[in-house]
Structure 1
Amino acid sequence: MPRSLPAPWDAPPLHELPDDYRLSALQIHGAGIGTWAWNVQTGEIRIADEWARTVGYTLAELEPATITLWESLAHPDDLAESGRQLKRHWRGKTDRYECECRLRHKDGHWVWVLDRGRLLSRDEGGRPQWMFGAHTDLTRQKAAEAERDQILERFRRLATHLPGSLYQYRLRPDGSSHFPYATDTIELIYGCTPADVADDAAPVFAVIHPDDRDRVRAGIAESAVRLGVRRDRYRVLHPTRGEIWIDGVSTPERLADGSTLWHGFLLDATEAERQRAKLKLTAKVFSSTQEGVMITDPNARILEVNEAFCRLTGYRAEEAIGQRASLLKSGRQGPDFYRALWSDLRLKGRWRGEIWNRRKNGEIYPELLSIDAVLDELGQPENYIGVFRDITEVKQHQYELDRATYYDPLTGLPNRRLASDRLHIAIEHAKRHQELVAICYLDLDRFKQINENHDFGVGDLLLTRFAERLADALRGHDTIGRVGGDEFLLLLTGLRNRHEALELIHRVMELARTPFSLRQDEQIALSASIGVALYPELDLSADELIRYADQALYRAKERGRNCYVVFDREEGFISRVRADLLQAAERALADGEFRLFYQPKLDLRSGRVWSVEALIRWRLPDGRIRPPGEFIEALSGTPLDTRVGDWVIDEALRQQCAWHAQGLRLPVSVNVSADHLLGDDFVPMLRTALQHHAMAEPHLLTLEILETSRISDFARVCRRLEECRELGVLFSLDDFGTGYSSLTYMRQLPVDVLKIDRSFVLTMLDSEADLSIVKGIIGLGRAFGRLVIAEGAETPAHIEQLKALGCDLAQGYGLSRPIPADGVMQWVTDWNRSTA
C-alpha cells in the first residue's frame, strides 16, 4: 500500500459510493481475505478483520486506521516500490496496483503479503479518490520457495562435488542426439562444456576411441530398444589428458515424442584399468616367482596356486583349489582385522601387510602378504591375487634384536630404554583418559651385603625370583623394568587417584618383605625402598618424572630404608600448587564454572539406556575443560570437598527434573566419597535437595560410594545408608573387586548395585585372570541379588563379552563418552530408537 498524498481532500464516506462499488467492497470484505479501502485524499483506511489478523492484531488495536498505520507496519525497503507501482496504476500504465511487501507482525517478525488494489473513483478534477484492495498472506508460499531454492542449491553442490559427471542424454526419433543437461565436470571426461553438447552430441562421439565408438553406439541402440540399464567401459581420446578410460551407467525412459532420455553418471576409470592390466600381467608370470601366489574368485574361493604356495603351506594344489582362502587362517587375527582388510580391498583395490597363517601340519607362521583386486570391464572385482612370503626368519631376528635392545637379559624384564618409552605412552594415555600414573623407583635394601655373604649366583637368582613375584602381583597393564643391578622401575597405570596408587605400592613393599626360599632350609629376607613420582600431580616430561622418582628414592634411603617416599609430599611444590588449586576451585564454585557431564549406562539385556552417571567437569573461563583428575584429589579431605559434593547432588537432581519435564524419565547416579557420606549434614542436605526438586521418585537417584577402603566403622556406615534409604534413594558399591575386603563390603553394606572396577574390565579380553575376576563378581552379584555394572567397556568387543557373561549393565567409551547435559536427551532418544 503506498504512502498518502501530501494534501488531503474531502471525500464521501463509503455509504455514499455508487451501489456497484459499495457492493463489490462488501463482497471482498465478506470473503475474509484481508480487504482494505483507502481514501487517497484524506488518508483514511478501512481494513477487515483478516487484514489485522495477518499481522497479529485485532481491529481495535489498530485504531485509528489511517495511511500512517500502513507506513508504520511496512518494511522501509518495500515502501518505495509500493509507491512506484501505485503511480503507474494511477497514470493508467497498469489496470491494477500490485506489490509484494513485508509487514511487521505484532510478534516482531516480518510477514510477506501480496498487496493488490484498484482505483475505483476519482473526484471531479480527476484526482485519485477511493482505492479498494486486499492482502494475501504469502508466508507459506515464501517458505516453499525458500525450501525449493535450498533443495536446488543442495543438488547443485552435490552435482558439483561428485567425483564424476551427471548427465541427461536424449536420442531423438530422427537419430540425432544431444545432452539436455550435464554438470561442468563433463569437460574432464570428454573435453567439452555442457553448452557444446546442449544441442548436438557430436563433440562427445568425436573423442570416443575409434575402436570403441561402434560398440558404444550399439549399446545405446540396444538400451533404447529394451529400456534397460546401460553399463559400459570405453576409452576417450581427451584433447588435453590423452587416452583415458570411462565407466558409465545410465537408465533410460521413453518420452511422449518417441525419443529416449537416459539419466546417467560418468566416472574416470583410468587408474582402475591400469591396475587391472598390471595385475593380469602379474597373474601370467606367477608360476615362476619364488613367492607364494594364490588366485581366488570374488568369494575368496581358491582358483589357482603356484608351486611356491605348495612349498610354503604344505598343501598340494589339488588340496587347495576349490577351498576358501580361510583354509590358511591361524586364528591369531580377530574379526576386526579381516573387516579392515576387506574394506581396503573394496575401497582401494589392494591390501598389504603382515599376517599369521597356518600350514597344513598346523604350524603357525608369519608372512608378508599382498592382495590385489582384478576388476572386470564394469569395474567389479573379478579375481583376487595374493602374493606372500614366509618371514619367520625376519621375525626371529627382529625378536632377538628387540630382546637385546629393550629387555634385561637376566630377568627378561624391560630395560630402562623400554620402560622410558612406555612411560611416554602411559602419560599420553593418562592425558586422554584423565588417569593417574605412578612412577616408582625401587631399590632392594642391603642387596650388596647379600651378594657378599653368598656366591654370585644367589644374587642373580634372588633378582629373578623377585622380578617373577612382582610380575605375578601387579596388573597386566603395569610395567616392571630392571634399570640397574638391584634397581627396578615400576609404572603403575590406569589409576584414578593417589589412594589407589599407594595401595599398590604397599602391596609391592609386602612382596619385598616376604622371605625368599632359594635353597633347602635357607630363607633370605629382603626389604625395599621406593621413590614415587605421580603424574599429573607432577606435570612433567617422562625423563623428569623418573629423575624425581629417583630423588624420592634417595630420601627413602635417608629415612632408614624399608619405606617409600612420594616426591610431591616431600617437596613444597605440590603443596603450593594444591593451595592455588583449592583457591581457584573456591572461585569456580562461586562463579558457576563447574559442570556435570553424563555417561550413559547400557542395559545389556534390552539394549536400551538404563541410566546415566553424573561426572563433574570444570569449565575454565577460556573454555577449556579441566577433567576431575586435575582437581578432585586436591579437594579430598577439605571442607570444599563436601560443598562441591552437595552441589553435584543438587545439580544432578535439578537436571533430572528438567529431563522429566521434557518427557524423559532417566535414573541418575552420583559419586559420594566416604567422608562426605559420613558427614553430620549429609542426610539433612539430601532430604532438602529431594524436597526442593520435588522428587516423587527418589529411587531414580543412586549414590555411588567411593573410597570403600577408607571405611573402617561398618556399623556407622550401615546406619547412614539405612537413613538415606528411608528417603528412597539407592546405593552402588563403586570399584568392586579392588582391595582385600570387597566381599565384606558387599555382605555388610545395604547396597543395590555392584560396579566392577574398570581395571579388570579393560584387560579382561587379554587377561584370563581378570576375566575370571569379572565372571566371579557377576556370579556374586547374582547370588546376593545385586545388579552388576561393568565400568570400562571401552570397545564393542568389551560390551559383547560382558553380555555373554550375563552382566546386567555396562558403562564406558564403547557405548559413549560423557555427554554435556544439553545433549543427553537427544542421545538417549536416538539410541533407544535405534534399538527399538
Structure 2
Amino acid sequence: MADHGNSANALLERRLQELAEERRRLAMIIEGTAAGTWEWNVQSGQMRVNERWAEIVGYRLDELEPICQKTFIALVHPDDLALSDAALQDHFDGRSDHYVCLLRMRHKNGEWIWIHDRGRVFEWDGQGRPLWMAGAHADVTELQQARQDAAEMRQRLQAVVDASDEVAVIATDTDGIITLFNTGAERLLGYRAEEVLGHANPGIFHDPDEMAAYLAPLADAQGRAPTIFQALTAQAQGQTFSRQWTFLRKDGQRRQVRLSISRMDGTDGERIGYVGMAIDITEILQARAEARLAADKFAGAFTSAALGMALVSLEGRWLDVNDALCRILGYPREELLQVDFQRLTHPADLQTDLALVQDLLAGRRTHYHLEKRYVGRDGNTIWARLSVSLVRNERGEPLHFVSQIQDVSAQRSSEQRLFESEQRSRITLDAVADLVLSVALDGRIEYANAAAVRLLAGDGALSLAGHNVQDVLALTTEYAPQSLLDVAVLLDPDGNAVDLHADLLLRMGATTVPVDLTRAWLRDDEGHVRGAVWVLRDDTQQRARQREARHLAEMDPLTELGNRRGFEAHLQQAITRVERTGQAASLMYIDLDRFKPINDTFGHLAGDAVLWAVASVLRHGVRDSDVVARLGGDEFAVILSGCSPRRAARIGGELLHTLSNLSIPWDQHRLRIGASIGIAPLAAGMSVDQAVAAADAQCYRAKAMGRNNVQVQGEASELPGGPPTDGSDG
C-alpha cells in the first residue's frame, strides 16, 4: 500500500510539473503575441485581464482594478457597443463558433484606438447558459488607419482618372486582369466598367487580324506565340511602350488609338501590374487622310490640280485660276476672274497679307507662306494655307504673282479639337493638389498648374510661364537645409542627381516642407530631350514614417533603451562634439554581476524582468541628455556628455548603490543583482571601438577586484556597492 501511495504521489507531482511547464509555455506564447487576454464570468460580470490588456488602452493593471464588465463598457465607443452585443449573442446562440468584433476603445490619452476582440465560451452552467468566456485583444489601429488611407487614396486616384473622359485609362494586375476602367475607357470602347473589372483581359479590345499579324513573328520554334497581353507588356518593362492600334468597340465599330503602356511597381520595387492610356485618333487620322487626298489632287498640272492655283496681277486681280481654287472659294471661274484677292480675304487677315506682298515687291523676300481666311461665295469662312512667289522678267521687273492655295479647314477643325482636348487636360491638372511644372532645359517654365501658381507666386498670380524656375522655386535638401539647390542639376539629362528627390525640401518663407519630386523628360520629334515635367508632392507624412522606422531600428525591444546600433551612432556624435568643443565627456560600461544564475534558476522571463528593472534604474539615474543603451545580454552603457571622469564616478557610485538595493519580486522569490562599472573619458581622435574598449577594460578591472564596484581609467578610486548575492533572497 505504501508503494502504491508513493507511486501515486510521484505521478501527481509529474503531472503538476507538466501543468506548470505548459502554463509557462502558454504565458510565453501570449507575451510573444503582445495580445491582451481576458476572462469574463458572463453571469456575475467579473473579469480577469492580463497586464497587456491594460497597456493597450494606456493603463497599468492596478489603475483599472477592480475590473468587471462595466470597465469594458466604459472604455468601448458607444457606437460599437451594439456591434459587440450582437456578436456575443450570435456566439451564445450557436450561430458562430467564436465571438469576433472590431471596435474602438478609449485610450488613457483620450484617443480612440481600434481593437480586434476575439473569444469563446469555455464553460456553461447546468441550464446550458454561458458561464465563463476567455479571449484576447489586439491593437489594430495602424492596420485600420492604413486601410482607411488606402481607400481614400483609391478614391482620389479614381477621381483624377475619371476627371477627363478624353483619355481611356485601363489598369491590370500582373496576370492581365483589368483592375481599373475609367469613364474615358467606357466612352471609347462601349463597355461598362462592371462588365470587365475583375475578369476581362485587355486583349479582347484589339483587332484579331491585326494582332495575329503582329504576334506571328514572335512565335517560338514550336510555333507557340505569346498572348496579346504578354507581347505588349514585354515591350513596357524598361520604358513606356507606345504604338497605334485598332480597337474594337463592344458594338463592333473600329477605332484607331494611340496606346501607351507602362509598368506599375510597388513601393518595394516589385511589379504590381500595368497601366495603359489610349487616345482616340480616328478623327485625326481621317482629317489627315482627307488632307493627303487633297494634296494628291493639287499635285497635277495647273488646270487639273486639286491644289488651288492662281496667277495674280500686281494689283491683286486674278489673272487665271484653276478648277480647284474655284471649288475652294465656291465661285464659277468667270465670276472669280472679275474680283481681286483683297475682296475675298477676311478683313482680319488683309493687312498681314498686303504687308507680305510689299516685301515681295521690294525684294526683301522671294516668297512667303501664310495661313489666312478667305470669304467664300456663300459668306462662309475658309481657312487656307497660302504660298506666294513673285515672277520677274529678265530685267528683274515684277510681272505677276503665283499663288498656291490649300484648303486646311478640316485640319484647323482637327487642331481646334486637339486644342480643346489639351485644355480639358490642363483643367484636370489644375484640379490636382500636387505641383506640376513643365520646364525647358534652360530653366524657363513653359507650364504650371493652378496649385503651382498659387503656392509659388501667390493667390493673385495668373501664370508662371516664362519665369525662370530658379527664381520661383526654392529647393534645398535635408543634408544642407541652409543651402539652396541649383535646380540646373535636375535639368541635366546626363547628370547624377536622380536620387536627390528623396531628400528635397521646399522652402516656403521661414519654413521648409519635405517634398517628393518625380521627373519625366520631354522629347522633340527627333527624340532629343527638350525639357522635363516635374511633379512635386508634399512628403511630410512619408518622411515621418521613415524617421519612425529608423528610430525603431535603433531601439532594444525588451528594455526600450537604445540598441548597439543606435549607441554607436550617439557615441560617434559625442566624440565629434568633444573634438569640436573640447568639452569633457565620459563613457560608462556596466556589466551585471551574477545575472546568469537568475536566468538558469528562474528562467529567461525572470532574467527579462531583471533587465527591464535595471534599464529603469539607469534611465532614471542619469540626465535626460545622457544616452543609455543595452549593448546585448546583461551589458549596458551610458554616454555622459559634459561630464568629467570624477563626476562620472560619483554617478556610477549612485547607480551601483541603487542597483544593489534593487529587489524584483518573482513568484515566491525576490531577485537581486549587482554590477561592475567601468568608466573611461572620451578623447578627440578616438574611434568608437577604442572608446568602448577603454570603458570595457575598466569594467573588467572592477570584476577582477571582486565585482560590485566602480573603476575609472587613470584613477585609483574604487566605489564599493552592496554585498554580492546569489540572485535570490527567497
The structure with the greater share of residues assigned to helix is 1
Q: Same fold (TM over 0.5)?
A: no
- TM-score, with length taken from structure 2: 0.34
After TM superposition, the score normalised by the length of structure 1 is 0.30
